Structure 1
Amino acid sequence: MKIQLSSVLVSDQEKALQFYTHILGFVKHMDLPMGEARWLTVVSPEGPQDIQLVLEPNFNPAGATYQKALFDQGIPATAFAVSDIEAEHQRLVQQGVTFKLPPTHTGGPVIAVLDDTCGNYIQIYQV
């Protein structure tokens, strides 16, 4: 058994695709029509291509409620590893990304939390 797909709910798939590819640096992997939405995945250029992140539309009222509750409480929807959090923070700030939490030492990993502009906080961390 292995993790191959994980998803993050997004308010707008196209806006999310632009943010996750042009700003965060992921690469579009799959983009297939699925009725009103798309099966839309991105992968890391630094990792295996079979581990995909689904940019999942939040059409379902339960999903939208869950996403909003996490956001309102400041809870990240997911987390991504980085090798140099200070450099990544600076790169993203220069591209206009808003951070809820700048790089912060936790006694373990260093973490930062950013707004993905699609209804989520995303944590980045460096171990």
Structure 2
Amino acid sequence: MRIHRTSVFVDDQEKALRFYTEVLGFQKKDDVPLGEDRWLTVVSPEEPAGTELLLEPSRHPAVRAFQEGLAVDGIPATSFAVDDLDAEVERLRSRGAVIVRDPVETGPVSTAIIDDTCGNLVQLLQYL
């Protein structure tokens, strides 16, 4: 068994697509119209056949409360591994990403948190 797809709720799919592709550097995989929404996925260019991230609309009232609660408490909605956290944070900062928490070493990992501009905090982590 393996993880095939996971999702992150976003308040605007087009804005999320721009952030996850143009800022983070993921690649669009699926873009299928579903009424006023889309089945919209991105993948890592390092693993194009790997785990997909579904950019899922957050219109449901329960989702909005969940997202806001996580953000207020500083809890990331998802996490992405990187090889060099300091370099990645600087790359993202140069692309306009809002760094919510600069890199911090916490045991066997170093982590940073960014704002995805679509209602979520995203954790970046590097195994030390």
Shorter-chain TM-score tier: over 0.9
TM value normalised by structure 2: 0.96
Task: Report the Cα offset of residue 48 of structure 1.
Answer: 4.4
2:115 is matched with 115
Compute the RMSD of aligned alpha carbons: 0.9
Distance 1:50 1:82, change over 3 A: closer
Percent identical among aligned pairs is: 52
Tell me which stretches of 4 or more aligned residues in structure 1 moved more than 6 Å.
Answer: none
Structure 1 distance, partners of 2:5, 2:22, is 21
Q: Which amino acid aligns with 1:6?
A: T
1:47 is matched with 47
Q: Which amino acid aligns with 2:71?
A: F
Q: SS at the partner of 2:89?
A: helix
TM value normalised by structure 1: 0.96
Task: Report the Cα offset of residue 106 of structure 1.
Answer: 0.7
Aligned residues: 127
| Structure 2 residue runs without a partner (length 5+) | none
| Structure 1 residue runs without a partner (length 5+) | none
Q: SS at the partner of 1:80?
A: strand
Q: State whether structure 2 residue 15 is matched by structure 1 residue 8.
A: no
